[in-house]
Amino acid sequence: MITLKSEREIEKMHNAGKLLAACHREIATMIKPGITTDEIDKFVEDFLEKHGATPEQKGYHGYKYATCASVNDEICHGFPTDKPLKNGDVVTIDMVVNLNGGLADSAWTYAVGEVSEEVQHLLDVTKNSLYKGIEAAQVGNRLGDIGHAIQSYVEGENYSVVRDFTGHGIGKTMHEEPTVLHYGKPGKGTRLKEGMTITIEPMVNAGTWHSKMDPNGWTARTVDGKLSAQYEHTIVITKDGPIILTEQ
């Protein structure tokens, strides 16, 4: 069942989302060659605690960390590690913030030091694809319109959209209905209504979309070893258009 959120619920999610955005802005200043994803994860825990919030991912189905930190060919759900990031790496930091029961989910891919033009292009296309998906999230449109907007743009740039992981409804819990595919056909799927809160979180691969699972049972990576990037926002659908809850 898809729940439509009240104004009060949306405001709580927005407050969580603003804090999450502030946390990502801090991370952006920390990402440099030599830093470890363990250090970033620790920073996030402390930052959230200082602001009266908690990392919703920690303890979720036994997940041990505040963040997911996915480096290079890791698509999503990478574990933070004590291995220093290197110049030219890309790292996706994904987290869900709980502030007074309001939840917000946002991921960002960061370039470590200097990346090649090719890598920067992958990041740019992935971020643009998120905003194209958000633009399609209009009352009366359908979920397929969001997926199609993302897929047609990404494939037009000769990259691929990951199929094995999706966006989702979010509200009282991190994952609710509906499932938000980042590919699809225009005019197909569930109709979008005012008050729906969903994530849009395209994972875009430089090579094929196929993924394989690490032995840890969590971390997905590209089968061809090529890079993967991801940008994610939590949004609410309103009659005046989508509102991003995970920006300032």
Contacting residues toward ligand MF3, per CB under 6 A: 57, 60-61, 63, 68, 77, 94, 96, 105, 199, 201, 232
3-state secondary structure of 19: helix
With the C-alpha atoms ordered 166, 171, 176, 181, is the resulting torsion angle positive or negative?
negative
Q: Which backbone phi and psi does 167 adopt, to 5 degrees?
A: -80, 180
What lies within 8 Å, CB to CB, of 155 at 6+ separation is 161
Residue 244 to residues 127, 210, 212, Cα–Cα distance (Å): 14, 29, 31
CB of 86 to Co ion, least distance (A): 27
d(CA 139, CA 104) in angstroms, rounded, equals 21
Nearer of residues 121 and 163 to ligand MF3, judged by Cβ: 163
The DSSP secondary-structure symbol of 2 reads P
Nearer of residues 55 and 115 to ligand MF3, judged by Cβ: 55
Task: Return the one option of ligand MF3, Co ion, none that residue 94 interacts with (CB less than 5 to 8 A, by type).
Answer: ligand MF3
CB of 114 to ligand MF3, least distance (A): 28
Binding residues among 174-203 for Co ion as defined by CB under 5 A: 199
CB of 200 to Co ion, least distance (A): 9
Nearer of residues 44 and 68 to ligand MF3, judged by Cβ: 68
CB of 96 to Co ion, least distance (A): 7
Nearer of residues 66 and 192 to ligand MF3, judged by Cβ: 66
Q: For residues 70 and 230, is the Cβ–Cβ distance under 8 A?
A: yes
Binding residues among 94-113 for Co ion as defined by CB under 5 A: 105
Q: Which backbone phi and psi does 104 adopt, to 5 degrees?
A: -145, 145
Nearer of residues 47 and 115 to ligand MF3, judged by Cβ: 47
CB of 174 to ligand MF3, least distance (A): 6
d(CA 154, CA 203) in angstroms, rounded, equals 10
Residues that bind Co ion (CB under 5 A): 105, 199
